[in-house]
Amino acid sequence: MTTSDPGWVHLITGGFPPGSLAGHDHDYARLRLLGLLAERDIPASVANDFADLEKWLPVSRLLITYVAGPYPDAGQCDALGRWLEGGGHWVGLHGTSGGRAERVEGTRQRRSVKTEHHALLGSRFLTHPPICRIRVDVTDPDHPLTQGLGGSFEVEDEPYFIELQDPASTRVLLTADYGADGFSPAIGTLYPSDTSLLPDGRTRVIGYTRAVGDGGVAYFTLGHCHNPAIRAARAPDPADSTPLTFHGAWESDAFPALLRNAIGWGLGT
């Protein structure tokens, strides 16, 4: 599948089920991403999920996704894979590595189910402990996606645990050692072991890229945001001191710089 407009971007931001915020301020993320595209006069189409993905891929050079729940089904993954093989680029953010979850007997929590889109994206979300301050280490400072980020930077965000699907084809760009904050009771209950850990037993990948034919995928775990309405819908937790309005990494210097790099990488500029 080829692209007919070298500058068109398709942006997907939304939760599941349709109309649900799913714990995230998608309006904020959508506006920030559109603002970054507008800085360079880049035209964009916008969707809330992947339902009409096959309509927009042929006219798009870059796909950006910030979602909490929606994921491409098998047919959409097939179309997306062909588009990537033909030169398209996909930048996935935050909850893009999630998707369908299943109930686990004996617990109220859900476990992520591995589907076709995880293989295409290159990772699967497992869990995350509470929001904390994260030191992000830039492991590949010479890559176009990490230009200007220095050797490391700090942000407040959700410390994601993601399981790489094909480490051999993955170029790791960002990692983090969560230290004492890197504990989740989901490990050992929902998941038998912590498959997000690298061989050193401490470090986790939070940003990478992988080639797919003539195109490629880049994924970054960063970017959680929420507003008071979203927090009000949660059960009260006296130990949770997170502000009712949280923009975290979006308000740092490093994350917008990373996103600008990602847009340039995706459009080949």
d(CA 251, CA 199): 32
pLDDT of residue 233: 66
SS3 at position 37: helix
Beta bridge partners, 176, equal 136, 204
Q: How far is CA 140 from the centre of its chain?
A: 19
Q: Which two tokens stand for residue 104?
A: 């686990």
Mean pLDDT score across all residues of the chain: 93
| Cα angle for residues 28, 14, 222 (degrees, 5° grid) | 60
- Nearest one of 67, 63, 52, 64 to 21, comparing CA atoms: 67
pLDDT of residue 4: 43
**Predicted confidence (pLDDT) per residue in 87-131, tens digit:** 999 999 999 999 998 988 888 888 999 999 999 999 999 999 999
d(CA 62, CA 191): 34
Length of the chain: 269
Question: Which CATH code fits 9-267?
Answer: 3.40.50.880
What is the pLDDT confidence band of residue 243, given thresholds at 50, 70 and 90? confident
Identify the residue with better confidence: 75 or 181: 75
pLDDT of residue 121: 98
**Predicted confidence (pLDDT) per residue in 228-237, tens digit:** 988 776 666 6
SS3 at position 40: coil
**Predicted confidence (pLDDT) per residue in 131-162, tens digit:** 999 999 999 999 999 999 999 999 999 999 99
pTM tops 0.75, yes or no: yes
